[in-house]
Copies of this chain bind each other. A is one copy, B any other.
């Protein structure tokens, strides 16, 4: 299968093989060493020298951890949402009692830093801003560096969901002054789902000392204390640590700059290929994501049928629209283990299957 959804992503064979390692004592010396090296090797992608905690959960667990470890019920939060996952981040804050003001951006567009500045001035008690770096539901990447600048004109914390950007798109947590940054193993890391990563700045730890949203499983201070002695508070997903450890080797052999460049190239290649087919890109081209490309389904094409045909006839799995965009989009993942040939295969299949659809006009280049 050519798995071209925005996660889980295909894993290199050596990563999959590593998952089969035998169980070990999670409170023994081997796991301590594994936890330490994995934590250290996450740091270049986060662009931080600070603490990163590895959780046994989906990425959504890390979103929850970011919220409940830095905030208290009643705190004001600005939830910047450019799609499904921005909504989720804001909703988690609300569930735990934050008073959330939402900046809802039209789907397909990125958040305007100027709008965030305006809202932060209007609501002067905002304690934290939640934002998605790379929104897989719309294929848009926010400019986090620019957003960080306006957020830091105030005392608000900046909590960044980098689930689908980290390890594929450069992030400079320390350089940009991000307070909480989080990701999940099943994205560019090329590891199956089940581990999540949360980095905390010094300011985030200071907030943590006063934050009193209830937490136990996702208590990051507890995770930090355990990590200092090479352990996790609860039993970790050991097999996925084995996979992560091997995946770092794959990434480091290619080199971080090369990994980022490959994602940039493939993003451009995918968008150009879609345009050449006459398909309409959904994301604002100025902010198009380099890990997921979204195109509008042409008039007369039924999403479920096209997905089924691609899967059954070509062995290609792509995603459809999510939330309000269900039935209206194709979403193509190109993060982690991906090469141009994987995208070419999809473009070729689309060219055949969409032939004769009246509403699309393939450009000359596609012939």
Q: A residues within 8 Å of B by Cβ?
A: 1, 3, 5, 7-11, 16-17, 19-28, 56-61, 64, 91-92, 95-97, 184, 186, 192-194, 213-218, 233-240, 243, 311, 317, 319
Contact = CB atoms under 8 A, between A and B. Distances in A.
Contact of A237 (B5, B194, B217): B194
A234 B84 CA distance: 12
A-B pairs with lowest CB-CB distance, top 6: A194-B237, A58-B234, A60-B234, A19-B19, A8-B23, A193-B235
Nearest to A9: B23
B91 A216 contact: yes
- A21, A26, A27, A57: residue with the most chain B Cβ atoms closer than 10 Å: A57
14 contacts: A3-B24, A8-B25, A11-B22, A19-B20, A23-B186, A23-B192, A25-B317, A56-B58, A60-B216, A60-B217, A96-B216, A192-B239, A194-B194, A213-B214
B235 A8 contact: yes
Nearest to A13: B20
Contacts of A23: 3, 8-11, 186, 192
Contacts of A21: 16
Contact of A20 (B17, B56, B91, B236): B17
A5 B22 contact: no
Given A1-B24, A3-B23, A57-B61, 19 more contacts: A3-B24, A5-B27, A8-B23, A8-B26, A8-B238, A25-B319, A26-B193, A56-B193, A56-B194, A58-B234, A58-B237, A61-B217, A95-B214, A96-B214, A96-B216, A186-B235, A192-B237, A194-B237, A213-B214
A58 B235 contact: yes
Given A22-B11, A193-B238, A27 B214 contact: no
Contacts of A8: 23-26, 235, 238
A236 B92 contact: no
B317 A193 contact: no
A59 B233 CA distance: 11
A214 B279 CA distance: 43
